[in-house]
Amino acid sequence: MLRTHTCGELNISHLGQTVTLCGWVQKSRDLGGTTFIDVRDRYGLTQLIFNTDSDASLREKSRGLGREFVIKVTGNVIERASKNTKIPTGEIEIAVTDIEVLNAAKLPPFLIEDETDGGEELRAKYRYLDLRRNPIRNNLVLRHKMAQEVRKYLDKLDFIEVETPVLIKSTPEGARDFVVPSRMNPGEFYALPQSPQTFKQLLMVSGFDRYFQIVKCFRDEDLRADRQPEFTQIDCELSFVSQEDILNIFEGLTRHLFKTVKGIDLVELPRMLYSDAMRLYGSDKPDLRFGMEFVELNDIVKGKGFSIFDNAELVVGINAKGCANYTRKQVDELTEWLKRPQIGVTGMIYCRYNEDGTLKSSVDKFYNEDELTNWAAAFNAEKGDLMLILAGGADKVRKQLNELRLEMGSRLGLRDKNTFAPLWVVDFPLLEWDEESGRYHAMHHPFTSPKPEDIAMLDTEPGAVRANAYDLVINGTEIGGGSIRIHDRGLQSLMFKHLGFSPEEAQKQFGFLMDAFEYGAPPHGGIAFGFDRLASIFAGLDSIRDVIAFPKNNSGRDVMIDSPSTIAEAQMTELKIKTTV
């Protein structure tokens, strides 16, 4: 080894020792006849001291060291005169006797500091420099610890880690596939897996019983803060289990990670029906760090001559505690925020419960104070509260009110990143209607099993059929989802029929799986956690990018290596491909 110790290792117990360190120059300071240099590696930072009285030529050499130079130094551990209690090495410094520049460095385009002056785009271009910063490196260390604890937990429960193929067959449903041309099979393409779904089911048919994989998945979809074109799942499948077994095992994994990585003891995770989540929060991934549940008002506001309420399918609102002092300007600003195209609200009604006990609404022309008192009772409002109400089509207005609820939670400081509110959402619908295509789609995927007691409704009322499906939600983010699978060819064929597949299409796309079901497929089910999302929540981040070593931007580009890019014409010819761009 070129070094005897790391830059985060030395302390007062090493006084008098001769040591050799290697690392990057963080910064240097000249004070009279003395130069101080901080040298850094992934383990920490150590101060070096060069003194004219001790070695003038060595001190002069040290003054030529710029930021991010890679150096090797040898010297003696001495006690610092001015100690720094904020770092583990803050009681000592190295009186340097020899220095070697291993590699000089250009001045970096931004400061390699915890608080940098580099913008997001610049840091993405020089991601290898951004990764030197403590916050980013610490995120990846956290991710590593989480991965190790996942493996430990699952290994103890007899799960086997199995790698599944990356070059697979393109299948419909879900997001768009990334496709890969086959040189040896001209005109044919592989697809990159959106998940290992069919392979993990085939492993159950193979008798592997308990499988897991920390696996790369690929989806060609529009990006946002919690999406990347390539992402990582903790993918799991089990045989001879019920939904209850899976919830218990993976609640155990969740609690294990919180305990071992964050030092947090989680209580038993609550469970919520999908129907209740939508009714009370307008979302299948409710943020339970705060209340502000929806209150439906149809029974007490209709029939008073206010057409917006009278003509609405649903009138529903939330109680913003302590917000009666919002000015008209603040309420108008909130209304304009709701009118943005991505939310699409046409207007908002409000009612203040003033500290003097009076009630004042934006629709006083239609509702007297006695009627507003009924509103306040429905909301369990108290003096100082502000009731915010939307009206419209039920599904649409619930989604809009969900956005308002989350925004008010943020404005009121109720979404603390150091508070964690996990829950299971269960009993999802099996199918959801798609207006554009005019047919039903699988809400999760085509292999999800309907609840046995609902199978008869597939022919009569398909939208009412419930799935043996479940999601793990933490702080309003879907972290994982899974289901009990179909393991019978007949039922799987019926499912494909209701999804609009002809028997020939189903056989072409999924015949290999249905054929396998005829050779003794066991009952099975599973779950997949979004590992990047889970790591970002543990790190207290809004975006998953900073828990990924080399992420893509919102356009799906890696600006560091300039990818995607064109390829040589010779490669295109070899692959028998032409572009029309």
Distance, in Å, from the CA atom of 233 to the CA atom of 195, rounded to the nearest integer, reads 8
Which residues are 377's β-sheet partners?
Answer: none
Distance, in Å, from the CA atom of 237 to the CA atom of 206, rounded to the nearest integer, reads 12
What DSSP assignment string belongs to 20-49?
EEEEEEEEEEEETTEEEEEEEETTEEEEEE
Distance, in Å, from the CA atom of 133 to the CA atom of 118, rounded to the nearest integer, reads 11
DSSP code of 561? Answer: T
Please tell me whether 305 is known to bind a ligand.
no
State the residue for tokens 């383990």: 43
Which residues are 481's β-sheet partners?
Answer: 471, 528
Please tell me whether 228 is known to bind a ligand.
yes
Q: Which of 524-545 are b and which e, b meaning 16 or more Cβ less than 10 Å from the residue's Cβ?
A: bbbbbbbbbbbbbbbbebebbb
Q: How many CA atoms lie within 13 A of 204 on its CB side?
A: 26
Please tell me whether 271 is known to bind a ligand.
no
Please tell me whether 290 is known to bind a ligand.
no
Q: Who's near 406: CB < 8 A, 6+ residues apart? A: 287, 415, 476
Nearest Cα residue to 23 out of 10, 38, 41 = 41
Cα of first residue to Cα of last residue in the chain, in angstroms, is 53
Retrieve residue 207's tokens: 């008798």
Please tell me whether 158 is known to bind a ligand.
no
Please tell me whether 144 is known to bind a ligand.
no
> Rounded to 5, what percent of the chain is helix, strand, coil?
30, 25, 45
- Signed CA dihedral, 243, 246, 249, 251: sign only: negative
Distance, in Å, from the CA atom of 20 to the CA atom of 58, rounded to the nearest integer, reads 16
Please tell me whether 489 is known to bind a ligand.
no
Retrieve residue 248's tokens: 């218990």
CA distances from 381 to 292, 309, 312 (A): 11, 20, 23
Please tell me whether 524 is known to bind a ligand.
no
Which residues are 543's β-sheet partners?
Answer: none
Single-letter amino acid code for the residue at 477: T
Which residues are 439's β-sheet partners?
Answer: 434
Judge contact between 452 and 431, C-beta under 8 A. no
Please tell me whether 530 is known to bind a ligand.
yes
- For residue 196, count other CB atoms closer than 10 A to its CB: 26
Please tell me whether 137 is known to bind a ligand.
no
Q: How many CA atoms lie within 13 A of 478 on its CB side?
A: 16
Which residue positions form the known binding site for L-aspartate? 173, 219, 444, 485
Binding site residue list: 173, 219-221, 228, 444, 478, 485, 530-533
Which residues does the annotation place in the binding site for ATP?
219-221, 228, 478, 530-533
